[in-house]
Amino acid sequence: MPLSIVLDANSASIQDAMAAIDQGSASAAFAVTAGEILVGIVTDGDIRRAILGGAHLSDPIKPYIQVNPVVARELDSRNAILDLMQAREIWQIPVVNEDGKLVAVHLLRELLGRVDRPNVALILAGGRGTRLGPITNSLPKPMVSVAGKPILERLINHLLGYGISHIVISVGYLGDAIADHFGDGSQFGCEITYLWEDPENPLGTGGPLGNLPKLFPELSAPVLVMNGDLVTQFDVAAMFDHHEQAGAVGTLGTFSYTHEVPYGVLQVNDSGRVEAIVEKPLRQELVSGGIYIFNPSVLRKVPPDTFFPITQVLTDCIDGGDKVSVWSLSEDWIDVGRPQDLAKARGQF
């Protein structure tokens, strides 16, 4: 981190701040006190407003410092920092350690380093979310707030961070609340299209896939499909890379699920003799995380406007001899389906 963008909060002048911003590449300067403890940030706009208000270049910068700025922590992941910056619409973010000391500055343009992807993302957001009880009586589950913004907005910000700007949202129950919030997506930096389902006759988890070819008749790139109630930081680019390298028509994002059998389990041989008793053993299974990639050829086999589970989509691929691969969701992943899951997500993010 160049020292030129760091200011002494107590002694620097407006001119010092202008020089720091000019010498750096962050379009901002960062104000610290003794011990390099971050206290605030100064931008071009702050200085412009100060001068328009009658301040002189020799005046202290301290009154114009934005205190309590948005910060990242040393252990925050790249994806979490990107989501935070895009959600707050900021171009730079200081990184502080546990003592509040300024240790780095991240720039949005450097973190993105992305190329827009041709892939379309389909987010399934039409369910009723009945397991969340009264919370979803008047609010669709994907619009439930986690860390200050709806789950669905978090997902869209995350996808944008990986260059996916064509997003389709399948809506049904209280879908107007979703459409009213996101509109055509322009204010979020993307293009959003809606697939409307009849809440009384839902299409299931796979049915909306069959309607995508009507929206994108020239679709040629693999499509990302995901549940709209996920709070996750998965690496979108890595999953697409795996899908391509595997030569699969479909890829499932998976995680390992461990559960305890609440009884003593008998190990019995073919003759019926008990050979061992294992008390409350742990079972580990590989399960779907509600995130998929499908080639367009798969979508065209799903009948449009028809109830169709996504498990049937996958089964048809397997039975037809097509390759379906798995990819591990090693990053944070929470399916916000129950009150305890929502509480966990709110405590973790």
Which residues, other chains included, contact 58 with Cβ-Cβ below 8 Å and sequence gap of 6+?
13, 14, 15
Predicted local distance difference test score (pLDDT) of residue 104: 85
The number of helices, as runs of H, and strands, as runs of E, in the chain is 11, 20
pTM: 0.66
Determine contact, residues 249/317, Cβ cutoff 8 Å.
yes
270 burial type by CB count under 10 A (0-12 exposed, 13-18 middle, 19+ buried): exposed
Predicted local distance difference test score (pLDDT) of residue 119: 96
The CATH number of 120-348, from 3.90.550.10, 3.40.190.10, 3.40.50.300, 3.30.1600.10, is: 3.90.550.10
Q: Do domains 3-112 and 120-348 have the same CATH topology?
A: no
Class of the CATH domain delimited by 3-112: alpha beta
Neighbours of 169 (CB within 10 A): 26
3-class SS at 268? strand
Where are the alpha helices (H) located in the chain, listed in sequence order? 14-23, 44-52, 78-88, 108-112, 151-161, 175-182, 212-215, 236-246, 296-299, 310-319, 339-348
pLDDT in tens for each of the 349 residues of the chain? 455 688 899 999 999 998 888 776 667 889 999 888 999 999 888 898 899 899 999 999 999 999 988 898 888 877 788 878 877 778 888 899 988 999 888 877 667 665 678 999 999 998 776 666 666 677 888 888 876 788 899 899 889 888 899 999 999 988 999 999 999 998 888 999 999 999 889 999 999 999 999 999 999 999 999 999 888 888 898 899 999 999 999 999 998 888 899 999 999 999 999 999 999 999 888 999 999 999 999 999 999 999 999 999 999 999 999 999 999 986 566 766 555 555 554 554 4
Position 93: which residue type? I
Q: Break the chain into its structural domains and give their ranges.
A: 3-112, 120-348
Predicted local distance difference test score (pLDDT) of residue 78: 75
Measured distance CA(10)–CA(37) in Å, rounded = 12
